[in-house]
Each structure stands twice: as structure tokens, then as C-alpha cells.
Amino acid sequence: MTRVLVVEDDAQLARALVINLQARKYTVDAAPDGATALRLVAAEQPDLILLDLGLPDMDGIEVIKALRGWSRAPVLVLSARSGSEDKIRALDVGADDYMTKPFSMDELLARLRAATRRTIESPPPTQTAMVVGTDEFTVDLLAKRVRRGDRDIRLTPTEWHLLEILVTHPGVLVSQRRLLTEVWGPSYRGKTNYLRVYMAQLRRKLEADPAHPRHLVTEPGMGYRFEA
């Protein structure tokens, strides 16, 4: 049973979320403010946290910062703020995904499934589950092999590293900063031009129409998302 904590001060929205999630067999706790949220994360150890940024007692960003010292539960931010600066801040302090209000319940559920799949699957599953496939290409994470149609695609180590991070987080937005830090190192985290160059190379190798990618999707100003 997946346990979800809904942190939302808008009582009507909180109620709608709780009802919808319970209908999908999630176990749901709700917190109307940041302090309650932190208490419930410690007490209930949810598998996933849905977090509003605008809370009455503290900013959602502060909640994420406070959590990240001791909880690894994925945080999906729900916010009325659509500015990319807030999204980047939230992702940088450790949020896993970000949705701007208003959102559809179907999209929320899809993102939630993606985020929980990721935690449940890490550490990586056994050999048989190490191939990630799309209708264009397949990635064998164990053999470090990419195939498109009936041929092997040669990737540079940097291209491989980027692709590996993205395909092991299917459906999840991975921030520019995180990709730069993991692939190139912390001192490169502002070098978004590196990402643009390498993502363009990957798309030329893997996407049917690199100008309109279907699998290696850009979230402008924020990061990249792998869609199977």
C-alpha cells in the first residue's frame, strides 16, 4: 500500500486530493501547514509527499529543505506559482517534480505513479528489468547498450551518462542543475549550454524527429524528462 501525504492549506483542494487518492487505493494523510507536514512525515513515513508551496506557517521550499536532511520520500510540488524560478528553487532543494495549479487529476496521478515507481525501483532492479524501451529505441542499462531498430547506437560516455539518468527516472522532470552536477560535477551546474549541446546530440541519435522530440523532452528553463 502506498502512503501519500497531502500538504495543502486550501481545504477544498486538500479534500478533493484525499478523496481521489483514496479512491485509487492510496493511504492518505493530510496536513494543512508545514509544521504538521514535518510531524506527519516523521510519524507516518509516507512513500510520497504532495506539497503546496504557499502554506500559512512556512514556505513549501523550507519544508523540503527541512525534510531532506532525513527523509528520501519523493516530493511532488503543487503550486499556483508558475514562474520557473520557483520551480528551479524547489527542484534544487530536493523536490522530485513540480506541477502548476490548476492541474488535471489524471496528470497528477500519472506523475505520482512515476515518482513512486522510481523509489520502489531504486536500488535498480535485477537483470531482467534493466532494459528500458520506447517505440524508437531500447536502452540496456546493464550491458550499456542502446539499440534503435536493428542497429546499435554508439554513444559517448557523457551521452550515455545523461541518457542513463533520464531513462532511470521515467516520466520525472530531472533538473538541469542535477544533470550537470551528476554528469560533469558541481562546478558545472550553471553550464546549461553543455546540456543543450549533448541533448541535441542524443536526440539526433535517438529521436525520429530530433526537432520535435517525443522521448527526450525539454522542460524549458528547468530540465529534461524521459517519456517512454
Question: Which residues contact Ca ion by CB under 5 A?
Answer: 9, 52, 54
Quote the least distance from Cβ 31 to Ca ion, whole Å.
Answer: 12
Residue 82 or residue 127: which is nearer to Ca ion going by CB? 82
Q: Which amino acid is located at 205 in the chain?
A: K
The pairing of strands 173-175 and 223-226 is: antiparallel
Quote the least distance from Cβ 19 to Ca ion, whole Å.
Answer: 18
* SS3 at position 187: helix
Q: 23, 24, 39, 56: which is closest to 5 by C-alpha?
A: 39
Residue 41 or residue 78: which is nearer to Ca ion going by CB? 78
**Cβ contacts of 174 within 8 Å, gap of 6 or more:** 165, 166, 223, 224, 225
Position closest to Ca ion via CB: 54
Quote the least distance from Cβ 52 to Ca ion, whole Å.
Answer: 4
Residue 7 or residue 115: which is nearer to Ca ion going by CB? 7
Quote the least distance from Cβ 8 to Ca ion, whole Å.
Answer: 6
Residue 54 or residue 210: which is nearer to Ca ion going by CB? 54
Alpha carbon distance 137, 152 (integer Å): 10
